[in-house]
């Protein structure tokens, strides 16, 4: 059994416990006690994941949590203990997720990775996951450094940023969001672990989406990359975060009670019937246009802004498991009779070979 | 050593002479149904169809036959040799000596001609004048281009059709049954009637030319037998693919690599035919991966989620799978990996045969890792062991490797038809939501049954206590993270116990005991055919009796230990330089038995042949 759920004092009042639409308490979405550093951005992300799945009323047993290796990849142990979890090998979580989803395409999948796990050792599997539009929420907990090996630069570290030791990064950062948009992901956004409201809305929209969701969440490493000269610190993010749009989310099980202004707001109907409402904060914001989205990212980069928000959504593209035209039930548990042809079939094959 | 117990050889001459002397000859001095044909061509010239027609024609005449394609790692323009062996005694290993050469490749025909033993036959393009090279070979020069042009007006097809002319020439010279040839040809082209007609015309043109121009002056003839009725011809990769279809394999992820690609391609063909339901939807998913790392990752991910998943690869892919193989062992994930071995190291000779991945697969990955290997020795076992592999993988919750090779996987072999298994698929220890309700929970890695194998749940099991945390890091019985020395130690000991359980479940060896022999011979996989033939040679030519054991799996079962302990000397025959199987045996057998082991190795890229084994063994025996 996984580590026992941990309760925080806020949830343990004597009154009848608050429950979500499927009758579960937030307690039912908790995980083990975190072993990450106090103040680590990853813990805040785990909290938002708990909130999002609780608020969306997803049965924890219907989720598979997957991760690679690194501080980020340890975090699935710290949320939703009632979901099966797989902490795999460095940079190879997408292939584990691919296999698991082929085995059971009725499950939801949540992948947690880091900037090293995705942008360096895992680049090969990451890009092919994007290309396939595998139905998974893929979160990159992005702090620009390798934490578990004590603070080496990763491939998302900005050029000119400085390590604690004074080493300056002289290579350009890989923009994983721009790459994801170009290579076929169908829901791409960036957020900041410190921006509770935006991250929660984005996660709920991600749950409502069917296809590859890439969320690059800047998540400061308080131990190795939160100093002056870092571009992934809390301070830098507070000064440079620039939202491309304000995110509103109306889940399918709630009445839509607020009208929106089509002149300023883009409404996207999600796969499950939920609505994503994006109020433009930037000129030319066009989240269904790949070229415009990538171009906005490049422009922000040139201005030293860290652009956040949902950059791109495509709700029409078929997912990888849909393309495979599988039977409705999970392949994993089909009965013998449906996966083993009869004796006559073998005899027919033998006849052909004589 | 021990020379006094060994009889004098019947013939002191090795090589081709011996072969011809031991051939059973008819009254006219003919060599009937016991010789090999080699067709030397250029790859990409379309000779494969003609060669298969020759092979199948002999099969249709009821004569035991085998075919081997020795091809380059190239698409067009390099030399290729196809060897067909007809054997009334049903020997299907490669025969070292070529009796009938069909020399179609100008690049190699001089060398091909010079390598023939005296008394052989050569069929070749007239303008090559190969008769000048050898006075001791029966020569049949043929104006191939002229004959081809006459039956094939379309110039661009002539390169392909030309090959059928040699089929006709050989058919006449070897006295083949033309009805069998036509039947084989029409089967080859199936519904392509026009192509069949054109090719048949070319065969006839060759046949007529030979009958009008040649007086036979060699002993090699084919006579109908009744030894192939009811038999099938299939390659090992297709046989394994068929095994996967009937094993209920639902997920395959792979990266193309010779010589394994045709295994998954065979699975795709068969699954499309037999595993799509009336709704038009598939009960299988096949995905071409970005590399072998992703292929094995997906297999383990699918196995974790409860599917029967497989991949097929060869040596370089095995190397890439090393890290994941360790995760599969340690996190206890089922999966089936077919390793169709080829000549290494590195890129090596990618289209040549070897049994060279035994050591790397047995311990694939870092740390204390060991894996179950099944070693098929025939196409029938490729089919059967594919099914066994899925059962064992789920029963033992571990990756299982099926160690085929290029010779078995890509060549056509005669076989008894395969039998249908209606034993229920063994899905292993999986707890359902109802089980959990009854048990009130479970501990994933607890050895409840004393066999080292725990109980697992699948993602999606509808019970709040179903989930557990799968990881490659240290874990305790409850799958929780731990670095405690006792937890680590106990877990590793349990995995060792599980490997002992595997020892009792894997296929047992095939043993042929005479009860009197002091010498034992051990072989496995495709070394089996040549080893059997060699034992006959040893008996007939040297009056040397041997006992025989064919290994079919790792870990080794008790019969293997007993066999070694009960013979003075045991020769381990294998196709690699470093005696890899011998090394595995040395690790496993009692110290006092290690000295009994001797090694016979063959590693030039060509499939092993009986004569090489016989010569090596008698030399080591000091005969």
Q: Are residues B190 and B106 both part of a single domain?
A: yes
Which distant-in-sequence residues (6+ apart) come within 8 Å of B47 by Cβ?
A: B39, B41, B80, B82, B104, B163
Predicted local distance difference test score (pLDDT) of residue A258: 79
CA distance B66 to A173: 59
- Measured between CA atoms, the residue of chain B closest to residue A29 is B464
Identify which of A291, A306, A111 has the alpha carbon closest to the alpha carbon of residue A189. A306
Q: Does B308 touch chain A (CB under 8 A)?
A: yes
Domain containing B127: what range? 33-221
> Would you tell me how many other CB atoms lie within 10 Å of the CB of residue A227?
13
- Tokens found for residue B300: 């383990």
**Which SS3 state, helix, strand or coil, does residue B203 take?**
helix
**Count of C-beta atoms within a 10 Å radius of residue B287:** 23
Is B251 in the same domain as B214? no
Distance from CA of B446 to the nearest CA of A (A): 11
**Residue-wise burial string across A37-73, b where 16 or more C-beta atoms lie within 10 A, e elsewhere:** eeebbbbbbbbbbbbbbbbbebbbbbbbbbbbbbbbb
- Percent of chain B clearing pLDDT 70 (strictly above): 96
8 Å CB contact of A85 and B469: yes
Q: What is the pLDDT of residues B553-612, one digit of tens each?
A: 999 999 999 999 999 999 999 999 999 999 999 999 999 999 999 999 999 999 999 999
Residues 6+ away with beta carbon under 8 Å from A148: A69, A70, A71
Same domain, B343 and B242: yes
pLDDT per position as a tens digit, B77-92 = 889 999 999 999 999 9
**The last residue of a domain, from among B475, B505, B535:** B505
How sure is the predictor about B73, in pLDDT bands with cuts at 50, 70 and 90?
A: confident
Measured between beta carbons, the chain A residues lying within 8 angstroms of B293 are 92, 95, 124-125
The answer to whether B8 contacts chain A (CB < 8 Å) is no
B197's enclosing H/E stretch is helix B193-213
What is the average per-residue pLDDT within B276-303? 98
Chain B residues within 8 A of A99 when measuring between CB atoms = 251, 253, 297-305, 307, 309
Element (H, E) at B58: helix B47-60
Give the whole-angstrom CA distance, residue A101 versus residue B305: 8
Contact yes or no for A88 and B297 at CB 8 A: yes
Which of residues 265 through 284 in chain B touch A, CB cutoff 8 A?
A: 270, 274-275, 277, 279-284
**Rounded average pLDDT over B477-496:** 98
Q: B285 at the A interface (CB within 8 A)?
A: yes
Q: Which CATH architecture has domain A14-353?
A: 3-Layer(aba) Sandwich (3.40)
Give the SS3 label for residue B561.
Answer: helix
Determine how β-strand B510-512 pairs with β-strand A84-87. Answer: unpaired
- The answer, yes or no, to whether residue B7 has pLDDT greater than 60, is no
Evaluate if residue B133 carries a pLDDT over 80. Answer: yes
A vs B: CB pairs below 8 A: 241
Beta-bridged to residue B42, according to DSSP, are B79
Task: Kindly report, residue by residue over A165-193, the tens digit of the pLDDT.
Answer: 999 999 999 999 999 999 999 999 999 99
Is residue A279 within 8 Å of A248, Cβ to Cβ? yes
B210 and B247: one domain?
A: no
CA atoms within 13 A on the CB side of A282: 22
Q: Tell me the average pLDDT across B380-399.
A: 98
Asked if B246 and A1 come within 8 Å (Cβ–Cβ), the reply is no
Give one DSSP letter per residue of B144-186, joined into a string.
HHHHHHHH---GGGHHHHHHHHHHHHHHHHTT--HHHHHHHHH
Contact A346 B308 (CB under 8 A): no
Query: Which residue from B231, B290, B327 is facing A125, i.e. has the nearest CB?
Result: B290
At what angle are helices B527-542 and B610-621 packed, to 10 degrees?
A: 50
Q: How far apart are CA A171 and CA B360, in angstroms?
A: 38
Closest in B245, B464, B469 to A77, CB measured: B469
Residues of A in contact with B454 (CB under 8 A): none
- Nearby residues of A352 by Cβ (< 8 Å), 6 or more positions away: none
Q: Answer with the one of B447, B482, B505 that is the final residue of a domain.
A: B505
pLDDT digit string (tens) for A68-112?
Answer: 999 999 999 999 999 999 999 999 999 999 999 999 999 999 999
Closest CB from B234, B301, B468 relative to A96: B301
Is B301 an 8 Å CB contact of chain A?
Answer: yes
Domain assignment present for residue B426? The answer is no
- On whether both B344 and B361 belong to a single domain, the answer is yes
Contact A89 B324 (CB under 8 A): yes
Q: What are the residue ranges spanned by the domains of chain A?
A: 14-353
B514-546 as b/e, with b when 16 or more CB fall inside 10 Å?
eeebebbbbbbbbbbbbbbbbbebbeebbebbb
pLDDT at residue B515 is higher than 90: no
Minimum distance, in Å, between the CA of residue B248 and any CA atom of chain A: 5
Please state, rounded to an integer, the average pLDDT across all residues of chain A: 95
Residues in chain B closer than 8 A to A350 (CB atoms):
232, 417-418
Q: Give residue for tokens 């067009």.
A: B76
pLDDT of residue B25: 45
Structure tokens at A190: 């960036």
- B360 and B217 co-located in one domain: no
Residue in B274, B305, B470 nearest the CB of A85? B470
The reported pLDDT for the residue numbered A4 is 52
Of A3, A86, A94, the CB nearest to B480: A3
| C-alpha closest to that of A72 among A101, A45, A106 | A45
pLDDT at B406 over 60: yes
**B153 lies in the same domain as B37:** yes
The per-residue pLDDT for B46 is 81
Cβ-contact B267, B409 below 8 angstroms: no
**Distance (Å, whole) CA A232 – CA B496:** 46
* Closest approach of B326 to chain A, Cα-based (Å): 10
Distance CA B303, CA A324 (A): 18
| Pairwise CB contact (< 8 Å): A327 & B279 | yes
**Residue at B25 is within a domain:** no
How many structural domains compose chain B?
4
- The token duo for B487 is 């937890």
Query: Are B501 and B592 contained in the same domain?
Result: no
Residue pair B282/B333 in contact by the 8 Å Cβ criterion: no
Find the mean pLDDT for residues B129-157. 95
Q: How far is B461 from chain A (nearest CA, A)?
A: 7
Q: Quick check: is B22 in a domain? A: no
Mutate to test the interface with B, among A340, A342, A347 (most CBs of B within 10 A): A340
Closest B-chain CA to A334: B283
In a domain, B428, yes or no: no
Could you give phi then psi for residue B385, rounded to 5 degrees? -70, -25
pLDDT tens readout for residues B300-350: 999 999 999 999 999 999 999 999 999 999 999 999 999 999 999 999 999
Structure confidence at residue B43 (pLDDT): 85
pLDDT of residue B196: 95
Backbone region of residue A20 per phi and psi (left: phi > 0; alpha: psi in -120 to 50; beta: other values) = beta
- B55 in A contact zone (CB under 8 Å): no
Give the CA-trace dihedral at A217, A218, A221, A222, to 10 degrees. -110
Distance from CA of B31 to the nearest CA of A (A): 27
Q: A241: distance to nearest CA of chain B, Å?
A: 35
CB B282 to CB A324 under 8 A?
A: yes
Distance CA B515, CA B547 (A): 8
Q: How large is the average pLDDT for residues B350-363?
A: 97
Contacts of A77 (CB under 8 A, 6+ apart): A2, A3, A31, A32, A85, A87, B469, B481
Q: How far is A148 from chain B (nearest CA, A)?
A: 14
- For residue range A214-259, what is the model confidence (pLDDT) as tens digits? 999 999 999 999 999 999 999 999 999 999 999 999 999 999 877 8
pLDDT averaged over chain B?
A: 94
The pLDDT assigned to A283 comes to 87
- CA–CA distances in Å: residue B19 to residues A239, B22, B112, B392: 88, 5, 19, 44
Is B14's pLDDT higher than 60? Answer: no
CB B352 within 8 A of CB B606: yes
Tell me the CATH number at B255. Answer: 3.40.50.970
Contacts of B364 in chain A (CB under 8 A): none
How close A347 gets to chain B, by Cα (Å)? 9
**Helix, strand, or coil (residue B141):** strand
Residue B8 above 70 pLDDT? no
Which band of pLDDT confidence, cut at 50, 70 and 90, is reported for residue B12?
very low
Q: Which of B467, B473, B478, B483 to mutate to test the interface with A (most CBs of A within 10 A)?
A: B467
Q: Which residue has the tokens 């889940």?
A: A251
A58 interaction partners in chain B (CB closer than 8 Å): none
Same domain flag for B501 and B514: no
Report the pLDDT averaged over residues B285-305. 98
Q: What is the mean pLDDT of residues B417-428?
A: 96
- A50-76 mean pLDDT: 98
pLDDT at B1 over 80: no
Which chain A residues contact residue B441 at CB under 8 A?
1
The answer on B126 and B82 residing in a single domain is yes
Residues 385-424 of B with CB under 8 A from A: 417-418, 420, 422, 424
Which tops the pLDDT comparison, B11 or A42?
A42
In angstroms, the separation between the Cα of residue B381 and the nearest Cα of chain A is 15
Average pLDDT estimate for B442-450: 98
Which of B221, B254, B269 marks a domain boundary? Answer: B221
Q: Is the pLDDT of residue A7 over 70?
A: no
Q: Shortest CB distance from B283 goes to which of A101, A339, A343?
A: A339
Q: Which residue of A has its CA nearest to B462?
A: A61
Q: How confident is the model at residue A211 (pLDDT cuts 50, 70, 90)?
A: very high
Residues in chain B closer than 8 A to A86 (CB atoms): 301, 304, 470-471
Q: Which of A76, A106, A331 sits opposite B251 (nearest CB)?
A: A331
B348 in a structural domain? yes
Supply the DSSP string of B388-427, one letter for each residue: HHHHHHHHHTSEEEEEEEHHHHHSEEEEPPP----SPP--
- Residue B5 covered by a domain: no
* pLDDT class of B75 with cuts at 50, 70, 90: confident
Cβ A341–B246 below 8 Å, yes or no? yes
At B430 the three-state DSSP class reads strand
Interface confidence (ipTM) of the complex: 0.95
Are A320 and A130 in contact, with CB atoms under 8 Å apart? no
| Domain presence at residue B24 | no
Which pLDDT value is given to residue B28? 55
Pair B196, B327 in one domain: no
- Closest Cβ opposite residue B327 in set A89, A97, A343: A89
Peptide bond into A20 cis (omega under 30): no
E strand or H helix that includes residue B522: strand B519-524
* Co-location of B546 and B490 in the same domain: no
């Amino acid at each position: 059994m996984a580590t026992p759920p941990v309760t925080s004092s806020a949830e343990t009042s004597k009154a009848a416990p608050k429950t979500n639409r499927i009758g579960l308490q937030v307690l039912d979405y908790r995980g083990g006690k975190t072993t990450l550093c106090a103040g680590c951005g990853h813990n805040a992300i785990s909290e938002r994941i708990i909130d999002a799945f609780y608020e969306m009323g997803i049965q924890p047993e219907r989720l598979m949590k997957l991760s690679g290796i690194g501080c980020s990849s340890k975090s699935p142990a710290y949320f939703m203990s009632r979901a099966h979890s797989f902490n795999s090998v460095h940079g190879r979580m997408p292939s584990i997720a691919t296999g698991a989803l082929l085995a059971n395409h009725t499950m939801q999948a949540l992948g947690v990775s880091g900037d090293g796990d995705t942008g360096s050792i895992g680049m090969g599997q990451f890009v092919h996951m994007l290309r396939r539009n595998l139905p998974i929420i893929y979160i990159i907990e992005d702090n620009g450094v390798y934490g578990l090996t004590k603070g080496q630069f990763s491939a998302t570290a900005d050029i000119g940023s400085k390590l604690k030791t004074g080493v300056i990064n002289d290579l350009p950062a890989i923009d994983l969001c721009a790459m994801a948009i170009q290579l076929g992901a169908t829901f791409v956004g960036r957020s900041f672990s410190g921006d509770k409201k935006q991250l929660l809305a984005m996660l709920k929209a991600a749950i409502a989406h069917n296809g590859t969701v890439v969320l690059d969440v800047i998540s400061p490493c308080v131990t190795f990359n939160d100093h002056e000269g870092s571009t992934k610190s809390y301070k830098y993010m507070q000064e440079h975060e620039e939202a491309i749009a304000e995110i509103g989310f109306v889940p399918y099980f709630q009445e839509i009670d607020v009208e929106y202004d089509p002149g300023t707001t883009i409404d996207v109907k999600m796969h499950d019937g939920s609505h994503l409402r994006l109020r433009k904060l930037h000129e030319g914001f066009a989240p269904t246009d790949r070229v415009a989205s990538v171009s906005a990212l490049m422009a922000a980069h040139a201005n030293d802004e860290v652009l956040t928000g949902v950059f791109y959504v495509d709700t029409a593209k078929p997912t990888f498991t849909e393309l495979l035209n599988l039977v409705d039930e999970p392949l994993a548990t089909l009965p013998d009779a449906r996966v083993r042809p009869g004796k006559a079939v073998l005899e027919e094959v033998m006849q052909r070979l004589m | 050593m021990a020379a006094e117990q060994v009889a004098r050889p019947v013939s002191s001459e090795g090589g081709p002479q011996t072969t011809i002397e031991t051939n059973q000859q008819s009254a006219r001095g003919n060599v009937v149904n016991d010789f090999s044909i080699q067709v030397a061509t250029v790859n990409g010239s379309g000779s494969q169809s003609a060669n298969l027609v020759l092979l199948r024609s002999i099969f249709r005449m009821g004569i035991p036959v085998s075919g081997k394609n020795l091809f380059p790692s190239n698409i067009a323009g390099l030399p290729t040799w196809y060897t067909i062996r007809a054997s009334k005694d049903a020997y299907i290993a490669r025969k070292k000596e070529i009796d009938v050469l069909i020399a179609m490749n100008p690049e190699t025909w001089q060398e091909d001609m010079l390598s023939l033993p005296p008394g052989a036959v050569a069929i070749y393009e007239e303008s090559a004048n190969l008769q000048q090279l050898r006075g001791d070979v029966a020569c049949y020069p043929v104006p191939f281009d002229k004959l081809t042009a006459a039956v094939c007006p379309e110039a661009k097809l002539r390169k392909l059709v030309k090959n059928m002319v040699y089929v006709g020439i050989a058919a006449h010279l070897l006295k083949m049954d033309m009805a069998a040839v036509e039947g084989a040809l029409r089967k080859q082209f199936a519904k392509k009637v026009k192509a069949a007609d054109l090719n048949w015309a070319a065969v006839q043109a060759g046949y007529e030319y030979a009958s009008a121009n040649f007086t036979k002056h060699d002993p090699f003839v084919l006579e109908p037998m009744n030894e192939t009725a009811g038999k099938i011809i299939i390659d090992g990769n297709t046989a394994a693919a068929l095994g996967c279809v009937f094993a209920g394999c639902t997920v395959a992820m792979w990266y193309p690599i010779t010589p394994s690609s045709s295994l998954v391609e065979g699975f795709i063909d068969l699954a499309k035919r037999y595993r799509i339901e009336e709704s038009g939807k598939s009960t299988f998913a096949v995905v071409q991966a970005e590399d072998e790392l992703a292929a094995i990752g997906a297999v383990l991910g699918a196995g974790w989620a409860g599917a029967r998943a497989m991949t097929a690869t060869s040596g370089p892919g095995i190397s890439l799978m090393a890290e994941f193989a360790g995760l599969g062992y340690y996190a206890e994930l089922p999966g089936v990996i077919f390793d169709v071995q080829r000549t290494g190291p590195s890129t090596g000779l990618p289209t040549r045969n070897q049994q060279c991945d035994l050591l790397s697969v047995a311990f694939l990955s870092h740390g204390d890792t060991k894996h179950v290997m099944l070693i098929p020795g025939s196409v029938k076992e490729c089919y059967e062991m594919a099914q066994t592999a899925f059962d064992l993988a789920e029963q033992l919750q571990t990756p299982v490797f099926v160690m085929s090779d290029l010779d078995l996987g890509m060549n056509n072999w005669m076989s008894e038809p395969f039998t249908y298994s209606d034993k229920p698929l063994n899905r292993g220890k999986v707890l359902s939501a109802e089980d959990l309700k009854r048990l009130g929970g479970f501990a994933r890695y607890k050895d409840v049954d004393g066999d080292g194998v725990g109980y697992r749940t699948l993602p999606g099991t509808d019970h709040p206590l179903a989930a557990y945390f799968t990881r490659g890091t240290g874990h305790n019985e409850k799958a929780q993270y731990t670095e405690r020395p006792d937890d680590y130690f106990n877990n590793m000991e349990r995995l060792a116990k599980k490997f002992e359980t595997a020892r009792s479940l894997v296929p047992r060896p095939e043993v042929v005991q005479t009860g009197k022999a002091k010498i034992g011979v051990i072989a496995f996989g495709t070394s089996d055919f040549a080893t059997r033939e060699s034992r006959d040679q040893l008996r007939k030519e040297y009056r040397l009796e041997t006992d025989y054991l064919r290994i079919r799996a790792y870990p080794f079962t008790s019969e293997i230990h007993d066999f070694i302990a009960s013979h003075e000397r045991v020769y381990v025959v294998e196709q690699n330089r470093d005696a890899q199987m011998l090394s595995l045996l040395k690790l496993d057998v009692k110290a006092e038995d290690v000295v009994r082991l001797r090694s016979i190795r063959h590693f030039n890229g060509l499939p092993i042949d009986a004569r090489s084994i016989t010569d090596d063994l008698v030399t080591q025996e000091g005969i």
